[in-house]
Chains A and B, each alone.
Chain A
């Protein structure tokens, strides 16, 4: 029994970070309607940035958010302006290939500049853990989960109560209606991209104390984030959060009870299955999905 609870807890903790990374994607995908195959590279870049800030200046990973988040926000905005904006009106194929090309580019630039080594940040709390009722809880994972939860709540409040947030939600819901209602849809693209990238980057930062950084670390996150967004439903923050936790648990249980080598295989299989059975998402309303090829 304890084993199950243990596995469940570690799955949920990991799922929190997954949810955060995916919420960034959901925002970008929902507003800009582009499938960014380089999403995982945002995670990779933020992890490297955190690593170098620690390595060169001894900055604690958690403190480094004050630098990483603004930098990645700007990076997201630049990415939207320079890469995404020019291809917005082109075909789906062009969008896929452009972002795949950028993903290749970023991975291999990282390889060239920072080598293929697995790099880790050692902190005093990296290995520390709490024991609650015989359940071992890793401190950095707990911090990651707590921070993820908190930032998702902040984002939720932002989308719910601010003018810009409402506009973003309207855009996610329906581009043409938002346009009719006087929302400058295109004007919000850069902001949504910056914001989405920033939340994704936060996920990356939170991973650093307990996982290694290497050039291809982001690759699984692109797929993972899409799995979570599809499961949770486009435009649904709470759906994405739940789906993130769910995928964290799938990975944790699959890794423990099936085979560690297959934990990702299991949720990819779930992904294909969900696309087949309920492409509008398990929890989502699925608005706008037709525009991007879902039926």
Chain B
């Protein structure tokens, strides 16, 4: 029953989301929703290695690689971004491969450090390699509206594109979590050695998770650059926007769960925008002070994220149901 109820609620929310743009003319509202969807997808992608307990603070690297690959192919060689999807995913996965090399030897905090360093290296390269990336000026996507160019007159198409991305990526992470890969990731996160003794190749498992995550993040970078038209190294390789933010969403929503990223992105994206525009204009830096506090306090008081506050409620319902089960079998 509860599961069916959840499906019904989900379908209802989805339908409401589908028709929202028909009622709102305000570009701000559409933009806000689009951002929430982007961040939902990005956080869900970030979350895949986090199933295995690997915490990246360098996902901006994959985001930026994907964006740069697609933008350079499009602007310099006229390659349609739809074809660029493959290139963006592939290039970001090469990035994922490089970052996963240290994973062979190390886990935990050192992986996190390496991921930050990796994004920093890429940002510096993007600024320095002017002939390819146009340096810190960045690349502008020319405004030539057409479906092939992934450029549109209104914000509506991107609303639907980002919604599709969010639903798609969250569904994918759901599938991953309930597959062999997901089981092995969770086992490795819980006890690496015990998992190995049971036949789990934990290194390969982490590697595959990072491949999925980096590929998806690269594709998201592509869509994002065609959404905002401007590609600057400071933005796309930004530690705050695309490395810390998804991690923050993930930890606040609930790292390593399917719904945590969704909850985190829904809560944190509007909050982030609000803080940036209101607090940020009153006092530069105040928004990040709030972020820092939220982060420290969440970790301290609800380490499992918001999902961990919600699951006991669902579990209790489940437990009531299962409590009846043994009796039924006895009768049978």
A contact set with B: CB distance below 8 Å: 35, 86-87, 90-98, 100-105, 107-112, 116, 215, 223, 226-227, 230, 259, 261-262, 264-265, 268-269, 271-272, 275-276, 279, 292-295
Contact = CB atoms under 8 A, between A and B. Distances in A.
A226 B55 CA distance: 17
A259 B128 contact: yes
B18 interface: no
A93 B299 CA distance: 9
A105 B113 contact: no
B108 A293 contact: yes
B102 interface: yes
Contact of A112 (B104, B285, B295): B285
A265 B296 contact: no
Contacts of B105: 275-276, 279, 294-295
Contact of B299 (A98, A226, A279): A98
Contacts of A98: 295-296, 299-300
B110 A101 contact: no
Interface in B257-305: 283-286, 288-289, 291-296, 298-300, 303
Given A104-B292, A223-B117, A262-B128, A294 B55 contact: no
A111 B289 CA distance: 10
Given A223-B116, A262-B125, A102 B296 contact: yes
Interface in B74-118: 98-99, 101-102, 104-114, 116-118
Contacts of A104: 244, 288-289, 291-292, 295
A271 B111 CA distance: 11
Interface string B288-327: 1101111110111001000000000000000000000000
A107 B57 CA distance: 17
A104 B248 CA distance: 12
**Looking at chain B's contact residues, is the secondary structure mostly helix, strand, loop, or mixed?**
helix
Most chain B beta-carbon neighbours within 10 Å: one of A86, A96, A116:
A96
Nearest to B124: A265
B53 interface: yes
Contacts of A105: 288-289, 292-293, 296
B118 A264 contact: no
A279 B109 CA distance: 13
A261 B127 contact: yes
B121 interface: yes
A36 to B, nearest CB: 10
A261 B128 contact: yes
A112 B283 contact: yes
B106 A275 contact: yes
A79 B120 CA distance: 27
6 contacts: A98-B295, A105-B293, A108-B286, A112-B283, A268-B117, A275-B106
Contact of A264 (B57, B99, B108, B120): B120
Interface residues of B, number: 47
A265 B55 contact: no
A29 to B, nearest CB: 10
B296 A292 contact: no
Contacts of B283: 112
Nearest to A95: B109
B225 interface: no
B300 A86 contact: yes
Given A98-B299, A294-B106, A272 B128 contact: no
Contact of B109 (A86, A111, A262, A292): A292
A272 B114 CA distance: 6
A223 B113 contact: yes
B138 to A, nearest CB: 15
A95 B108 CA distance: 10
Nearest to A270: B117
A200 to B, nearest CB: 17
Contacts of B289: 104-105, 108-109, 112
Contacts of A262: 124-125, 128
Nearest to A267: B117
Given A223-B113, A262-B128, A276-B104, 17 more contacts: A90-B299, A96-B112, A97-B296, A100-B57, A104-B292, A104-B295, A109-B285, A109-B289, A223-B117, A261-B124, A262-B125, A265-B121, A271-B117, A275-B105, A276-B101, A276-B102, A279-B102
A35 B294 CA distance: 20
Contacts of B299: 87, 90, 94, 97-98, 101
B251 interface: yes
B231 interface: no
A103 B292 CA distance: 8
A116 B101 contact: no
Q: Which are the 4 A-B pairs with shortest beta-carbon distances?
A: A293-B108, A111-B285, A105-B292, A101-B295
Nearest to A115: B284
A108 B286 CA distance: 7
Contacts of B104: 276
Nearest to A104: B292
Contacts of A226: 113
Contacts of A86: 300
A292 B112 CA distance: 12
B109 A96 contact: yes
